[in-house]
């Protein structure tokens, strides 16, 4: 019962078939059962969760106006502030940091009635692709405990996959929601930058950061998104900043999906590429038109993204690095020090290029509703092994773990990852990229696909 879809949990609670307290007890029991193996949680907030669950049940019994997620258990990446509960950012020297206010998204979730069961693990300061955290230990992949859960929101991906919560909030700068969604066989959305407030979220690279949900399905993601979207200072019920629930069609007739064969095949293992092409075939059978596209400047996009992704965190951490250099993990410290050596002219040129490539990309995608890309061309690496080395060994790709995910980040575009199959018995995710603020188009396409397939229903052996 702990692993219900968000939509199923909402229905069961509304119909009185289960109480929030029962659902929360089940989630907490599932955490106790699995987390010694997974290490997805940094803190389990059992007392807070049960108090919130009882309050939700009382509100429902009293006939109060019910929030859209009333009584639904969730987890939260530990770089998102929670009042009175430690928010460590996965850092050893922030282990005892306790914010005095909730992040905006947490306030919105409280207003919606959701129940927080815990804070989950991440790569230190959300800067890394494996969630092998030097201070709190690695999060293990529930499909294969010898492998990592990707990152940086690896705790969120593993927590949802292991049925310890109905959804989790992560953050995404260059792929940190989408990569764990793919690696753990769940669904994850990087929303359009600006759609969700990042107030109270520790920044990584502010021009690309965004908060987003991971859950079982695109339908679940849509439910969560409607509860948390909107600018800071606007209540979640303010109609001017909320989107009505779109009608989800029965099929994909009329949808045009772009696919760059050369780019996609250049960084994918054969098994991953086969799963992606099979998913596109399924979409075609549902009425979608798959058209060939040629994305411009792909190598330059990746290089410019790397410059921005190194420079902005170095600025964020400048004072902390002066005080705590020896307390950072070795990988994060090396990146920060590299960022401090980067010429300002490189950063400015990268941002200028970013502006130009947006125009060229949308011109190349004229007439295309959705761009399909791999999420990751690789499978999660064995724990303790440098994941970038594994990528080089397996595919010859030298541009990094975010070979495909950095594209949407540079475009400030929404991107949805959905599970579409397996390679070497590990999940494969397909990435759907849309135009800014057309998040609902992606979610509708994802929901149609999931209404006709069962990849998102598969459960890991743990």
Active site residues: 77, 152, 176
Three-class HEC string of 77-142:
ECCECECCECCCCCCHHHCCCCCCCCCHHHHHHHHHCCEEEEEECCCHHHCCCCCEECCCEECEEC
Q: Which residues contact 182 (CB under 8 A, 6 or more apart)?
A: 150, 188, 375, 376, 417, 419, 427, 428, 429, 431
Q: Which residues contact 245 (CB under 8 A, 6 or more apart)?
A: 222, 226
* Placement of tokens 């292991």 in the chain: 162
For 86, 107, 268, 407, the CA distances from 395, given in Å and listed in that order, are: 40, 43, 7, 19
Q: How far apart are CA 88 and CA 134, in angstroms?
A: 13
57 alpha-carbon distance from chain centroid:
29
Peptide linkage before 152 cis (omega within 30 of 0)? yes
Whether the CB-CB separation of 173 and 151 falls below 8 Å is answered with no
What the block records as the tokens of 433 is 């990229």
Q: Which residues contact 364 (CB under 8 A, 6 or more apart)?
A: 293, 294, 295, 296
What the block records as the tokens of 207 is 């021009």
Secondary structure letter of residue 205 according to DSSP: S
190 alpha-carbon distance from chain centroid:
6
Q: How far apart are the first and last CA of the chain?
A: 16
List the one residue out of 80, 134, 92 whose CA is nearest residue 320: 92
Q: Which residues contact 189 (CB under 8 A, 6 or more apart)?
A: 177, 212, 213, 214, 221, 225, 414, 415, 416, 417, 439, 442, 443
For 311, 318, 320, the CA distances from 350, given in Å and listed in that order, are: 10, 21, 25
List the one residue out of 138, 7, 143 whose CA is nearest residue 421: 143
List the one residue out of 196, 179, 197 whose CA is nearest residue 126: 179
């Amino acid at each position: 019962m702990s692993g219900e879809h968000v939509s199923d949990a909402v229905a069961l609670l509304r119909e009185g078939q289960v109480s929030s307290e029962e659902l929360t007890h089940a989630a907490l029991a599932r955490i106790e059962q699995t987390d010694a193996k997974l290490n997805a949680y940094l803190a389990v907030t059992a007392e807070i969760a049960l108090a919130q669950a009882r309050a939700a049940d009382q509100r429902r019994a009293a006939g109060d106006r019910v929030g859209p997620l009333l009584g639904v258990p969730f987890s939260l990446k530990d770089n998102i502030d929670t009042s009175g509960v430690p928010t460590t950012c996965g850092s050893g020297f922030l282990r005892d940091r306790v914010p005095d206010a909730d992040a905006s998204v947490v306030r919105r979730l409280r207003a919606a009635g959701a129940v927080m069961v815990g804070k989950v693990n991440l790569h230190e300061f959300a800067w890394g692709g494996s969630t092998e955290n030097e201070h709190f230990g690695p999060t293990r992949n529930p499909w294969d405990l010898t492998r990592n859960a990707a990152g940086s929101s690896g705790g969120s991906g593993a927590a949802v996959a292991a049925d310890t919560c109905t959804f989790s909030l992560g953050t995404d700068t260059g792929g940190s929601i989408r990569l764990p969604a793919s690696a753990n066989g769940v669904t994850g959305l990087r929303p359009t930058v600006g759609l969700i407030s990042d107030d109270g979220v520790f920044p990584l690279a502010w021009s690309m950061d965004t908060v987003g949900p991971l859950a079982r399905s695109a339908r679940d993601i849509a439910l969560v998104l409607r509860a948390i979207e909107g600018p800071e200072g606007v209540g979640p019920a303010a109609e001017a900043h909320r989107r009505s629930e779109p009608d989800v069609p029965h099929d994909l007739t009329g949808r045009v999906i772009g696919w760059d064969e050369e780019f996609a095949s250049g960084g994918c293992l054969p098994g991953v590429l086969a799963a992606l092409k099979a998913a596109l075939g399924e979409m075609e059978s549902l009425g979608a038109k798959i058209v060939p596209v040629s994305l411009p400047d792909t190598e330059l996009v990746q290089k410019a993204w790397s410059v921005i992704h190194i420079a902005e965190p170095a600025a964020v951490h400048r004072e902390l690095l002066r005080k705590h250099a020896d307390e950072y993990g070795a990988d994060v410290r090396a990146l920060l020090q590299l960022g401090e050596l980067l010429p300002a002219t490189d950063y400015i040129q990268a941002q200028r290029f970013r502006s130009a490539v947006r125009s060229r990309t949308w011109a190349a995608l004229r007439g295309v509703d959705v761009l399909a890309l791999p999420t990751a061309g690789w499978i999660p690496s064995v724990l303790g092994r440098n994941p970038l080395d594994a990528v080089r060994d397996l595919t010859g790709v030298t541009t990094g773990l975010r070979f495909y995910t950095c594209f949407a980040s540079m475009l400030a575009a929404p991107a949805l990852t959905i599970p579409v199959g397996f390679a070497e018995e590990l999940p494969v995710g397909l990435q759907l990229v849309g135009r800014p603020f057309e998040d609902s188009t992606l979610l509708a396409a994802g929901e149609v696909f999931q209404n006709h397939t069962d990849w998102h229903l598969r459960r890991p052996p743990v």
